[in-house]
Structure 1
Amino acid sequence: MHYPEIGQFGEDLVAQWLQSTGWVILHRRFSCRWGEIDIIAEYDRKVGEQWSRGTVGELRTQHSTLAFIEVKTRSSRNWDAGGRSAITPQKQAKIWRTAEIFLAQYPEKADYSCRFDVAIVSCQRISKNMTGVTATPEALATSSVGGYKFKLQEYILAAFDSLIDNGIG
């Protein structure tokens, strides 16, 4: 299997997981001259039944949220912390500019809350000789395709701030 295919399968896993948690996928691999965003998803809290009480006891709804998601799919022996260190300040700037282009093309979404998330997916070749039980960390979602097992290991909300705060960015 070629690396672009592995990346695509990682993105497929993340998109399926997002949909299972109530998100609507608006675009996959949205690109412009500034760069590409792997997944753009929307969550409408009004539809998702997440209501909050106002101070006067009235029900008020939260606005929709847009997530611009960078997916990093890596093998277990990768060099870049599962893809975290590949989200450099330069990469963040490209994604930010690409998100601005998206919002300019879809002005009806310009007032939505926006955030930049990162999904870390591990990829492991499935051995034909693999037998027995192996201990692995919990995964948010898993799938097996073409002799590989994919695991959504971590989903980092508002990741750009987190990566910078942790000294990775």
Structure 2
Amino acid sequence: MANFPPSHYPDIGHLGEDLVAQWLQATGWIILHRRFSCRWGEIDIIAEYDRGAIGELSTQHSMLAFVEVKTRSSGSWDAGGRSAITPQKQAKICRTAGIFLAQYPEKADYSCRFDVAIVYCQRVLKNLTGVTANQEALATSSLPGYKLKLQEYIPAAFDSSIDNG
């Protein structure tokens, strides 16, 4: 069996983010940014949802979601990514969200929340046939050698307010 360099394998984190972004779009969200970064940190996905009437521009009905995506394979040490959302990580995401809102002041009056998406990535062997997983998924994606499942989407996963003042 060949021992390929790491660059030969896809980045499962990016694959998980792709799946979550596609699912968000399919459920009515608009993806504003992917991997928004500043000196304080990075936010995987920033999405907007307008709950106002069609054709009506109203910031009071708009929502921004700052989404942290955790993609894990079986046997991960951190409860599928949940325990990786430490208070320090939450603070970095909040600070980065504040920078985003400072750069886009027209969105500063939107309601904001911090969501977490848990994605399971499974390596698929070519000689394996049939369905091996029976747990429901919000969304799935397959590509050569991998199957991804959006296992859980947690809206408002941690409480925090963004203060631009």
Q: Considering the TM-score relative to the shorter chain, is it more than 0.5? A: yes
Q: Which residue of 2 aligns with 1:78?
A: 76
C-alpha displacement of 1:93: 0.2
Deviations 1:87-121 (A, max 9, x none): 00000000000000000000010000000000000
Q: Are the structure 2 counterparts of residues 48 and 156 from structure 1 closer, same or farther at C-alpha, using a change threshold of 3 Å?
A: farther
After superposition, the Cα gap between the structure-2 partners of 1:78 and 1:136, relative to the gap in structure 1 and judged at 3 Å, is: same
Which runs of no fewer than 5 residues in structure 2 stay unpaired?
A: 1-5, 160-165
**What is the 5 A alignment of 1:14-53?**
14-47=20-53
- For 1:26 and 1:132, locate their aligned partners in 2 and report how far apart those are by CA, in whole Å: 37
Residues 4-23 of structure 1: pairs in structure 2 closer than 5 A: 5-23=11-29
Instruction: Name 2:141's counterpart in structure 1.
Output: 143
Find out whether 1:63 has 2:30 as its counterpart.
no
1:123-147 alpha-carbon deviations (Å, 9 max, x no partner): 0001122123434210000001231
Matched-pair contact (CA < 8 Å) for 1:116–1:158: yes
Q: Matched residues in 1 for 2:125 and 2:60: separation? A: 47
* Paired-residue identity, %: 81
2: CA distance between counterparts of 1:143 and 1:42? 23
Distance 2:59 2:104 in 1: 22
Q: Give the count of matched residue pairs.
A: 151
* Kept after mapping to 1: 8 A contact 2:117/2:154: yes
Shift of 1:48: 6.5
TM-score by length of 1: 0.83
CA distance in 1 between partners of 2:122 and 2:27 (Å): 25
Which range is displaced more, 103-112 or 122-131? 122-131
Aligned Cα RMSD in Å? 2.1
Corresponding residue to 1:100 among 86, 98, 101 = 98
When normalised by structure 2's length, the TM-score is 0.85
- The verdict on how the C-alpha distance between 1:4 and 1:83 changes in structure 2, with shifts beyond 3 A counting, is farther
- Alpha-carbon distance in 1 for matches of 2:14, 2:54: 28
